[in-house]
Amino acid sequence: MDRAFLLRGALCALLLPTLACDLLAVSDSENVAGRGSKVFDPYQASASGAIRLSLQQFNGCAVMPNGQMAAKNSTPIPYPDNCPLLLSGLAEPSETLVPPTGTLKLQADTTYFLNQFTITDSIVDEHTDPANLTEALAWIKTQSRFKSLDWGNLAQVSDEWKFVPGVAGATHDSWARQVLFDNANWRAREDDSFTIEVLDSEGQVRGSPVTYARSEFVADSWSAGHSRIMWRVERVLPPRFPGDNEVRPIPQLPGWPPAPPVFRTMVRLDLVGSTNPFKTFRIPTLHGDGALRVTWSQMPDEPFYFPVTFVQQADLPPTCLDDAGNATPCGFGLEPRLRFSEPANGKGYYEPGEEVHMFVDIRDNDGNRLHSPEQLPSGNEVVTDRANGLIYALIPYLDAIMEYDMVPAVQVAGPLQKMNVRSDPTQPSPYFGPNVFYSLADEPATVRLPTGMHFMKWPTRATRKLPADAEPGTYVALIKTNRYFLGERTAKTAPFFFQVGQKERTSYPGNVGNCQLCHRGVLSLDNLRHGLSVDHVESCKVCHMFNNDLYNRSQEFVHKIHMTSANYPVNKADCTMCHLTRASTLRPSITQCASCHPSAHDNQYFQAKFSNTGEPSRFGNCAQACHVDTVPKNHILPAN
């Protein structure tokens, strides 16, 4: 991304006005030039004229977000006959190599642009000594898929412990230690590029190759969870003192199999979010087998191959439903919707203590429903590519690929004017929210467990009872969904609003904002990560409201991503860029501050970090504990 481009955007962007909320509706305009339903948007699936393409490989094989590995076809390309078995029927990936059965399909006579390119090379349980990572580094530099790159100046950039809660009660709560490396000479290059070519069944290039510069992708850095050079140990107890390298397994729960520690060494190149989606290529009129070839300028003699099957639009089966309930072929894109039951009082708002029925309705961008009106697909249908592209959380994929944006869910919170991030977990929740997380499908749904959950259909209706003491105002229900369809990877979060206790609308506190100064046009937030419009940036608190390691990742990462980015064009000590009120800057926790200052207090609060107790703890409010009268120096805070 060009820094000058961001600066020009900052000069001509408009400030975000106070949001007006419509009952049971969602705004589709960000009030910024270049966005909105009436402006050409290069990310709106078939309506844009080009489809965003996601290409991913894991250990040499093309992998799709539903966990399937693409099988080798008849096209004469270098490609393995056997691939890792992600869908082993277990709650973790298998190292077994088997002939893959998945098919990577692309639509012929269709224009695409490269929006994600991810290559992951990983090895498990080979480097098991936390006190000596030289063997892990040697594998990275001399044996991994990336061994031909220039690894000079590689250095450690992060060594962090992360809390990992038990999944659906299946495992004991545990910790993971993650050591990240970066700054190798190949990472510092700014002139490298990726050339994509379409090959027919004979392996011949069809059409003109298209070249994308690495600088044309928004997300690449380790701090944003993308490209990473990593050693990690998972499923262990936390350290007892600074420098404690003993690997202590988590206790085995009665009735559950042992969960030994996992040691993972990984190199992952992950480029996401094209800043130039107008640079496109067209799939010719091809049928059946073919391939894509991507050549990286830093590895010119080792191109990456993706076996594909080209399908015609006319040959797509009618697996979606139109408004009349008739079967019709699915289109591209993703549009999650929610419908609500009518309030009992007939006045347009719900009373405290009343039940609210929400009905999930997920569609493509052509308005076709991706599921039946009453039920969502089973986990088995998702992992066997029979769910019209809908994606659920896939535990083996999450563990192996470490791409976490997969959980489809609905969560309710409000009233909007009370949305403040909680800094002390011992205090009551400041607003209705933490107990109304509704996963559209439980995480084990994609795993073949004895419970039979793998074959369950999931209801489209979610019922939640409002608290008896629910404060009046406007509430939000966020629905988040993911889809992978004919090469297009999409994540979307949409807010829907309803009234409680009063008809008068209320709005977000307005404590943070200005994101649209940089995140506008193709860089807009609804094109990145969870796909949520910048109009609703304060509703991020609905899921990321707590100052703990489970939910605070977003808050910590928001600071770390921008502080470590060379593309962020503002003084990094100027809090007024994003914090609109002084009060919103005066509740930093140790975890928050450590995102920029990892050694501010050395190991003074080490034990508190892992015990969830102590004052100040990692949940603590640094301003209240110590920095009351003298806020941290060299930070510019809002006046009011």
Among 526, 435, 418, which residue's Cα sits nearest to residue 475? Answer: 418
- Whether residue 258 is found in the same domain as residue 398: no
Domain with residue 475: its CATH number is 2.60.40.1930
- Range with top average pLDDT, 219-228, 477-486, 528-537: 477-486
- Whether residue 304 is found in the same domain as residue 416: no
In a domain? residue 10: no
In a domain? residue 21: no
CA 164 from chain center: how many Å?
A: 17
Residue where a domain stops, chosen among 314, 335, 352:
314
Across 244-253, average pLDDT? 88
In a domain? residue 234: yes
Among 124, 119, 115, which residue's Cα sits nearest to residue 149? Answer: 119
- Range with top average pLDDT, 84-93, 123-132, 508-517: 123-132
SS3 annotation, 159-206: EEEEEECCCCCCCCCEEEEEEEEECCHHHHCCCCEEEEEEECCCCCEE
- Whether residue 403 is found in the same domain as residue 308: no
- Whether residue 127 is found in the same domain as residue 204: yes
Question: E-strand spans in 77-124?
Answer: 83-85, 94-98, 105-107, 110-124
pLDDT at 8 over 70: no
- Whether residue 218 is found in the same domain as residue 270: yes
In a domain? residue 553: no
What 3-state DSSP class applies to 640? coil
Q: Are 344 and 519 in contact (CB under 8 A)?
A: no
- Whether residue 604 is found in the same domain as residue 533: no
Strands 105-107 and 304-311: parallel
What 3-state DSSP class applies to 430? coil
Which segments of 195-290 does DSSP mark as H helices, in order? Answer: none
Across 385-392, average pLDDT? 96
Domain count, the chain: 3
Q: Which of 37-41, 318-322, 373-377, 593-597 has the lowest mean pLDDT?
A: 37-41
Q: Are 149 and 227 in contact (CB under 8 A)?
A: no
Question: E-strand spans in 442-505?
Answer: 458-459, 461-465, 473-485, 488-500
Distance from C-alpha of 11 to C-alpha of 315, rounded to nearest angstrom: 48
What 3-state DSSP class applies to 562? helix
Q: Are 541 and 450 in contact (CB under 8 A)?
A: no
- Per-residue pLDDT tens over the stretch 411-437: 888 899 988 766 555 555 556 655 567
Per-residue pLDDT, 29: 40
Q: How confident is the prediction for the chain on average, in pLDDT?
A: 83
For residue 618, what are the domain limits?
Answer: 570-640
Per-residue pLDDT, 561: 83
In a domain? residue 24: no
Q: Which residue has the tokens 């079967």?
A: 327
Distance from C-alpha of 619 to C-alpha of 435, rounded to nearest angstrom: 20
Per-residue pLDDT, 169: 42
DSSP lists the bridge partners of residue 492 as 481
Q: Are 124 and 264 in contact (CB under 8 A)?
A: yes
Q: Which of 268-272, 290-294, 399-403, 573-577 has the lowest mean pLDDT?
A: 399-403
Distance from C-alpha of 509 to C-alpha of 521, rounded to nearest angstrom: 25
CA distances to 353, 371, 372, 440, 594 from 360, rounded to whole Å, are 22, 10, 10, 9, 39
Number of other residues whose CB lies within 10 A of the CB of residue 627: 15
- Whether residue 494 is found in the same domain as residue 596: no
- Whether residue 414 is found in the same domain as residue 447: yes
Which of the four pLDDT bands, split at 50, 70 and 90, describes residue 310? very high
More confident residue, 517 or 206: 206
- Whether residue 484 is found in the same domain as residue 371: yes
Residue where a domain stops, chosen among 287, 314, 341:
314
- Whether residue 215 is found in the same domain as residue 260: yes
- Whether residue 443 is found in the same domain as residue 536: yes
DSSP string, 367-413: S-BSS-SSEEPPHHHHHTT-STTB----HHHHHHH---TT--EEEEE
In a domain? residue 630: yes
Q: Are 583 and 614 in contact (CB under 8 A)?
A: no
- Whether residue 501 is found in the same domain as residue 406: yes
Distance from C-alpha of 71 to C-alpha of 81, rounded to nearest angstrom: 8
Q: Which of 90-94, 299-303, 502-506 has the lowest mean pLDDT?
A: 90-94
Strands 304-311 and 205-213: unpaired
Q: Are 636 and 573 in contact (CB under 8 A)?
A: yes
- Per-residue pLDDT tens over the stretch 48-72: 778 999 999 999 999 999 989 999 9
DSSP lists the bridge partners of residue 622 as none
Distance from C-alpha of 353 to C-alpha of 78, rounded to nearest angstrom: 62
Among 538, 559, 577, which residue's Cα sits nearest to residue 421? Answer: 538
More confident residue, 586 or 213: 213
In a domain? residue 3: no
In a domain? residue 114: yes
